[in-house]
Amino acid sequence: MSSSKPIVKLVGGRPWSRGGDIGQRADVLVRDGLVAAIGAEAGEAEADVTLDCSDAVVAPGLVDLHTHLRQPGKEEAETIETGARAAALGGYTAVLAMPNTTPTIDSAEVVREVLELGRSAPCAVHTSGAITVDRAGETLAPMAEMAELGVTLFTDDGTGVQDDALMRRALEYAGGLGVILAQHCEVTSLSQGTCMHEGATSARLGLSGQPSEAEELMVMRDIALSRLTGTPVHFLHLSTARSVALVRAAKAAGQAVTAEAAPHHFTLTDDACGGYDPTFKVHPPLRTDEDVAAVKAGLADGTIDAIATDHAPHTPDSKELPFDQAPPGMLGLEYALALGLTELDLPLHRLIELMSVRPAQIARMPEQGRPVAVGEHANLCVIDTAAAWTIDASGGASRSRNVPYVGRRVSGRVRHTVCGGEPVVIAGVAQR
């Protein structure tokens, strides 16, 4: 971010207050990267940049717990710069990069590289670290060295830690460091060689299916290991009704577990794979109507703490391979907010909690997910909830084009994004 902070005035919007309510119209003044005034004082002040927020909500910037930025090693699909630009356009002021890069983010050296590349990005770029060396599930990575650099969340995303004893040791290690372990729940002995959900659609298509139990067994195991070690655990991209029920029961028992869900798991089902289009291939796979309903219910009742995009860019060439050979993953950063507003029957303040407040708390980003109040860091997005638009195939700012929502009509769009006091999106246009 730039060291020179402009004075910014957001005019005519409704700020999201400290109590989580969306208040009456009030101007907001940003100076030196902080919210300096709200109301009449802000309206009377001079500013370098004035942003029209009429008929819109001034909200805390969104925070994504699950972003694949591909750099280092797979820059042909995405870079930190392009991914962060897509994030800013989607209203995100912070993203957490996943470690399945080439090389894996499993050492202090690679953490430093990612953080350095993110310094000039149009949103705050944080990174997770791998639980095991090269995400191979054999030897614990040097989590303490990475934690010293500010890494707060560790995951072997893309591969669940299969060894029960190793996962127990990892949780004990994490508990001593005060960091969070996040699990990609997938038992490989049940999922190896599969490419979609196991059910009526996979049988009709003749494609190998992954049973829901491949996810649920690991959710069950890690709830037990979290109870055994007394260490919190976070579950990535829950996709099945029984997984949601397991987390709900664990929370009811007082366990320190949290969970996220991706937009595609509350908007799409395995029926989308019926045309053999690899755009709809993802891990965990798209599930059934019953599972989608359960994920929506979990988001509504607080069982699922956060919406995380699992933004996973892939080059067009790789996504044009046959369904069973193509890599799994979909784009999400520029579409998540609109999909949440359109598909979830939730009030806006609840959606902001799911996409900003709770993700910031889980990833321990104290400058993010805060109310629009004097003295708070100016990480903001301005949401026009009434804006209607149709998702196209361009992929937006991403280098990739694997968009599963093409042609879908949605409501709600980000008008402006202010990151660290700097307007990085103005009137829907990225400023750098």
Which residue of the set 64, 106, 310, 384 is catalytic? 310
d(CA 358, CA 364): 9
> Is 27 assigned a catalytic role?
no
Tokens linked to 312: 């996973």
Residue corresponding to tokens 């980000």: 414
Torsion angles phi and psi, residue 160, rounded to 5 = -75, 150
Tokens linked to 64: 């994504």
Torsion angles phi and psi, residue 205, rounded to 5 = -80, -15
d(CA 193, CA 174): 31
Residue 29, strand partner residues: 9, 37
Which residues carry out catalysis? Answer: 310
